[in-house]
Structure 1
């Protein structure tokens, strides 16, 4: 059944009978070719990206120092005369307490190589990605073995901890040192990938400005054998570190107090949700913009290797260095925060699955991977969509009938609870949600601009059907 809408067709078909694969039209290929060229600068251009590349690591050090050494207060110079001594105090903390020592190199680099080894050898689910315009619409195969790799990681961590070979409590105690090593890795891989892409002639969509191209990336799908480095780094590194930082905080509390607070238990649960969701739904990632369009540069590399793991869990850092009496809640408050997390997670998980499964259906894939937990509503039955002249289909069913980015709403809500779990003890753990909403709004504008160019009038019609950009009935 179809409804005509100014030349675009809003169609509804049964998923088990709609076997027609997506075919990109000639007009669509012209639009894709336009999108695969550098036309404008983003993020403030060369000067803007240099500011981000230098300023963000400084901010990471500053917020950690405030949490660990100054009771979570946002310290600052008290006078002009105090400015230089203040900078010296900050530098001393970085120089002494965040020095990239041998232990930190062993821990962080060990995890990098261990996760890369697991990605290389572990059995996995083979998933075909979307056609990549820059590769002549060739599809790449992905070996989705993050879930089995994580089970091996859990067992390895437990054995190392209980045998005393590597105590998990030591991770949070060496936060600053490990963070410095992570930053070095982030810069090293970013610049290394740029030079490698240029040397091998695999660079694309280049601006001609060195720093801007390092920031945005030069290559699209770098691989080592069967391992897609971009997808590997997005799943295996940040969320493994985030989860084990929370576990480390819990182990520390248990050894110190004989119990784990509901607040720390919340962070262990919340970080496990995210890690497990990325692993169990890894086959959905090749269908995302990150894989088939976003290049692998500093913006993505540094964020995955250093930014995410060392800015998202400030609440864990605070709890690990403060007495539990500073952030205790009443039972109803705990119930509210846990319930909010669970609700937001359900919406986020199912919304992401609905979109990815719909994209798979357009490729003729109708049998989906079964992993734990499979949540009800992860596949839209009889989906409605707008067929574009480009050849793609824009989903208008499920959670995607209420907002163009329902996953972002749920994702941000979860990020807010990660700060709310320590209440008003310090504002620093809310950095994640404040920064995240800024990133999401900017990402929305980038995505919507790209879709407007790609789909033209079909995008306008889609916006008439799905009216709200972000928050249903509000924005």
Structure 2
């Protein structure tokens, strides 16, 4: 009989194993704190870190934590409301289950924006929020850590079919970080998906707060800040409009809910608002030529992103749809067909290419004076390169020699002609 030590030795660790996940946990947490502090103070030099706080670097304001928790409960309530969307099935999980999701994220986003507008109209000063970003982040990390401990304990008693095969190593630190349960739910409430939606909605709310603060401070709108708000809101609205594609994304389908995913969801609002905060605090104004160039770059990235994703999702739903007559496919021994022309013939991940161009357009809105607004784009490059590698390894394992043949047909990974 094998003992626990032999089981752990045979387990295939990800992200560098137990020591690696500790380093990743520290990096994600500290990096987001650093970016949040920059967003609050407006000090943008890379090595300049001066944060004046009355409650210390570690202390948590429990009142703010309670507000954030109540806000999240409101997002849960919006999710379960039978309005603004419909029940959409996800993909079939390794357990054989097929979960249903409420696809009303656009309604939830609209409700949050309307609530912010009402609060501002009634006299709420958004600077109370933007001047407390660090306190909000620390409270979010406190909630994130507390919830990750609960999820670890809960995962130990979860049904075996619902557990995350990658988070059952037996090592406490590793399983806590990776997540022991794949899709923790309370009745019809999918906790992971609501957390994901909430992070994206939080990003837009902080963006709009910067726009309101701009008007409050200068009694005029900065056209560059307005442009950035518009293109980021357009991206998120599109993302939620095509929500059926979101519920089959990698984070939702394949990643367990542990500290890893929780802290990444927290990173979304606090790191993604960096460009709007930079433009506001520096009153950055681009010339008309740069303004138009950025609009073209964003439109190009958005077109690639949307067209490629729509093509993939349409093919996934119905490969025999007459409107997809132009698509060429390669059969595999698994019975599935791989796309080898159109967007998915140029490279294996054209949607990643579109995402990278879009992210670059956000950073370009800030000019070239400081590197901090470009860190998000750099981080996204590293993230997508890693995901492409994981996807490639997974497909190699799934399709075998068919995948080698596919790679000879579709040679480039993300950037046609280059990579």
TM-score, length of structure 1 as denominator length: 0.79
Work out whether 1:193 is the aligned partner of 2:154: no
1:143 alignment partner, one of 89, 96, 102: 102
Q: How does 1:44-193 map to 2 (within 5 A)?
A: 44-66=16-38, 68-69=40-41, 71-75=43-47, 93=53, 95-96=55-56, 100-101=60-61, 104-123=64-83, 124-133=85-94, 135=95, 137-164=96-123, 166-193=124-151
Aligned to 1:343: 300
Aligned to 1:435: 379
Shift of 1:260: 1.6
Shift of 1:64: 3.5
Report the Cα distance in structure 2 between the residues aligned to 1:273 and 1:230, rounded to whole angstroms.
24
1:245 alignment partner, one of 206, 217, 238: 206
Please list every run of 5 or more consecutive structure 2 residues that lacks an aligned counterpart in the other structure. 1-9
Per-residue CA deviation, residues 166-209 of structure 1 (Å, 9 max, x unaligned), is: 44443322211111122222222222212111123443311221
Aligned to 1:263: 224
Is the Cα–Cα contact under 8 Å of residues 129 and 140 in structure 1 kept in the other structure? yes
Aligned to 1:387: 331
Work out whether 1:399 is the aligned partner of 2:358: no
Is the Cα–Cα contact under 8 Å of residues 337 and 417 in structure 1 kept in the other structure? yes
1:413 alignment partner, one of 341, 346, 357: 357
Secondary structure of the 1:160 match is helix
Secondary structure of the 1:42 match is coil
1:286 alignment partner, one of 247, 256, 275: 247
Is the Cα–Cα contact under 8 Å of residues 42 and 277 in structure 2 kept in the other structure? no
Per-residue CA deviation, residues 435-469 of structure 1 (Å, 9 max, x unaligned), is: 11011101111110011001101111211221111
Is the Cα–Cα contact under 8 Å of residues 380 and 398 in structure 1 kept in the other structure? no
Aligned to 1:275: 236
Aligned to 2:7: none
Please list every run of 5 or more consecutive structure 1 residues that lacks an aligned counterpart in the other structure. 1-37, 77-85, 368-378
Report the Cα distance in structure 1 between the residues aligned to 2:273 and 2:42, rounded to whole angstroms.
17
Is the Cα–Cα contact under 8 Å of residues 65 and 136 in structure 2 kept in the other structure? yes
Give the paired residue count.
405
Shift of 1:44: 1.6
1:218 alignment partner, one of 164, 180, 187: 180
Residues 1:132 and 1:50: Cα distance change in structure 2 (over 3 Å): same
Secondary structure of the 1:321 match is helix
Work out whether 1:302 is the aligned partner of 2:263: yes
Is the Cα–Cα contact under 8 Å of residues 43 and 49 in structure 1 kept in the other structure? yes
Report the Cα distance in structure 1 between the residues aligned to 2:121 and 2:389, rounded to whole angstroms.
48
TM-score, length of structure 2 as denominator length: 0.89
Is the Cα–Cα contact under 8 Å of residues 406 and 470 in structure 1 kept in the other structure? yes
Is the Cα–Cα contact under 8 Å of residues 35 and 270 in structure 2 kept in the other structure? no
Shift of 1:157: 2.2
Aligned to 2:5: none
Residues 1:386 and 1:297: Cα distance change in structure 2 (over 3 Å): farther
Shift of 1:125: 1.9
Residues 1:347 and 1:277: Cα distance change in structure 2 (over 3 Å): same
Shift of 1:63: 3.4
Superposed CA RMSD in Å reads: 2.4
More RCO (CA 8 Å, sep 6+):
1
Secondary structure of the 1:127 match is strand
Shift of 1:271: 2.4
Report the Cα distance in structure 2 between the residues aligned to 1:187 and 1:283, rounded to whole angstroms.
30
